[in-house]
Amino acid sequence: MSPTNISFQRSVPVVIILALASLSTNGFAQQIGNSVVEKERSVISADLQMIYGKTESAATVADYSAIVNFCRNIVGDSTRVKEDRLYAQTLMSWAANRRGEARSDLAGKLVREKQFGQAAELDAMAYKDFEYSIQLDPTRWRAHHNIAVVRAIQGNNTAALESFDTAIRLNPDFSDAYFNRGEIYFRSSQFELAIADQNKAIQLKPGDSAAFSARAHSLYAIGKNEESLADYAKAMDLSPDSAESATEYADTCQAVGKWKLAATAYQRAMQLDSKNARTFQNAAWMMATCPDEFYRNGESALETAQKAVELAAAPTSVHVLDVLAAAQAASGDFVSAEKTIGLALRSTTDTSLRSELQMRGRQYQRKRPYVQPSPVSKK
């Protein structure tokens, strides 16, 4: 089991997960710059002063919609002074982008509740909000970043890269834009470009464990195993309560044959999260198939694999079935191993994967457990 490619990061979990511009900065002034806002406020009317005050507490779709609607009336009112109309347009752009972020956040919650239709509708509305925000203010870098996220999720990498480029040009200090653009490059196997962006993301936000994990994936992809492991270890140190970070480190240790480190990290990950199916699946694989007999334990492998099956989403994936079969064989139950590998074969049409499963199935027929080959050392 090789390390799982990192997914995009954002506040809203979807099939591919990216990081929208952080929702933590609510205030209009905080995004525009307090000194600029105070200077502009000195020449605007009292009603705009009032609506500006509401930006500090706005948090819901309804809150942002109220600001958008109020400002739209001012922008369209030819009797208002120029300063009011320009200020209202800037404020409306901010509120439209924030409303899109709020809608995306709600869509993510619906995805977790498996209400995919409603989530898709909200995501479409969010996309329109980001477009509207940019239309009102082409310099709104957060909206450019957010629309890039949506385009990447839709699989439109070319358009996503263009939008990330724009966001970075407008705000070269925004680490999330480099992180997410790096993920686009990683997904398209442009690993050197990915690493360059991940380096910049780490420079701007040195405490971000996700950025170290992302760079670790890229380094592993080009065969720089030791550097990759160092980044995974750093990510684990930065997020000591994360089972995901510990599992990523363990997976890579297993892939390069550092069995003791892998075993320790898997144990840590299982203690941190007893419901992480991936951790139990990959730990069971090592227990069942490790080339080093010291770390091979059929009984423990079977118990851990059965836990992975319990935690896995239904229907059980071909990979979980493969691990269960290997654990059954490692524990000496070759009859069950043959049946389970048969189920795995019926669960996939992937030619390469079927070939591997058939090879293991033949070994189980001959009453032989499967042992993974020792990894080829890479620098």
Q: What is the pTM of this model?
A: 0.84
Distance between alpha carbon 37 and the CA centroid of its chain, in Å?
34
Spatial contact of 202 and 215, defined as CB atoms under 8 Å apart: yes
Domain C-terminal end among 154, 188, 204:
154
The secondary structure of residue 55, as a DSSP letter, is T
Contacts of 61 (CB under 8 A, 6+ apart): 99, 102, 103, 106
Whether the CB-CB separation of 94 and 71 falls below 8 Å is answered with: no
Lowest mean pLDDT among 60-69, 197-206, 283-292, 311-320: 311-320
In this predicted model, what pLDDT tens digit does every residue of 106-165 receive, in sequence order? Answer: 998 998 898 999 999 999 999 999 999 999 999 999 999 999 999 998 889 999 999 999
222: in domain: no
Q: Of 130, 154, 178, which closes a domain?
A: 154
The secondary element (H helix, E strand) that includes residue 191 is helix 191-204
Q: Which of 36-40, 42-46, 366-370 has the lowest mean pLDDT?
A: 36-40
Residues 181-230 pLDDT 10s: 999 999 999 999 999 999 999 999 999 999 999 999 999 999 999 999 99
How many separate domains does the chain show?
A: 2
Question: Which pair of tokens denotes residue 93?
Answer: 């752009």
Per-chain mean pLDDT for the chain: 88
Task: Identify whether 242 is part of a domain.
Answer: no
240 pLDDT band, cuts 50/70/90, is very high
| Same domain (yes/no): 127, 274 | no
The parent domain of residue 365 ranges over 251-379
Q: Is residue 307 domain-resident?
A: yes
- Asked if residue 173 is part of any domain, the answer here is no
Question: Token pair of 123, please?
Answer: 């995501």
Pick from 113, 138, 154: which residue ends a domain? Answer: 154
pLDDT number for residue 377: 52
Q: Specify the pLDDT at position 114.
A: 87
What's the pLDDT score for residue 18?
43
